[in-house]
Structure 1
């Protein structure tokens, strides 16, 4: 069973989602998990951020197709500004969740591999699946990615609750 690393600070957890440019997959996961954590009453104990491996979109808003998919399901995607992951995140974030294997590999070279997990490891329907990049496709790809993100974030919340509980 996949588990999350222990928190840097007991009683508090910080999750970082990582994809290529931080405009599609990782910010969508950020928005969805924050919403689910609020529903679970954990917003005051869990912080969520997202970043990209590359710097191509730093400062940009979320891809409009990702934003539209989120908005269509009642989420608010408006506050996002893309940023690039930095080595310092490993001392700040408790877990860095990579959207695909290339991101996991890049993150493991950048910092502590014990803090890195593949987001899809928590997917209840297809454990270990990579979240495909919808950037070069049409609207359906963004909807399918959001389906994966929602079910995986839903499954991730109990893991976060366990990580917050003292052993």
Structure 2
């Protein structure tokens, strides 16, 4: 089983969107039993809060329901627990490297590095552009799934 953890700052917008988009793609591909997908935030500011309402609405527009998801903070033990830890942006990657003391097993990546346009996922918390975040996340999850299943 491949275990993937998506990571952003607060775990209420981008990383839960990625978690649920990836779960949906995996389910539609008939691979549900082969993956464990979750998300976390590098900060504890939103700990226990549900998915941010505009992010939830964007997921629901696409038939994906994030009901029951609450924010959790990334823990040092997550490095050993997960096969891949996927950051939404470079600052998340730096925070993970600090927490984990580096990346000796090469598990840390940015989501858009699995696309033809590496970079940071648009942050809708600041831009309020949840459609741009949806496009980035969907494209990144497709690329990530292709990368994993082609091997």
Matched, 1:98 2:76: no
Give the secondary-structure state (helix, strand or coil) at the position aligned to 2:20.
helix
Point out where structure 1 has 5 or more consecutive residues left out of the alignment.
Answer: 1-11
Q: TM-score, normalised by structure 1?
A: 0.85
Aligned length: 148
> Per-residue deviation at 1:137?
3.2
The answer as to whether partners of 1:57 and 1:82 remain within 8 angstroms in 2 is yes
The CA deviation string for residues 9-65 of structure 1, in whole angstroms up to 9 with x for no partner, is xxx100000000000000000000000001111110100000000001111100000
The CA deviation string for residues 130-156 of structure 1, in whole angstroms up to 9 with x for no partner, is 012111333xx1111001111111121
Q: TM-score, normalised by structure 2?
A: 0.93
Q: Which residue of 2 aligns with 1:70?
A: 59
Regions of 4+ moved over 6 Å: none
Matched, 1:156 2:148: no
Matched, 1:143 2:135: no
Q: d(CA) in 1 for partners of 2:68 and 2:49?
A: 11
Q: d(CA) in 2 for partners of 1:19 and 1:152?
A: 14
Point out where structure 2 has 5 or more consecutive residues left out of the alignment.
Answer: none
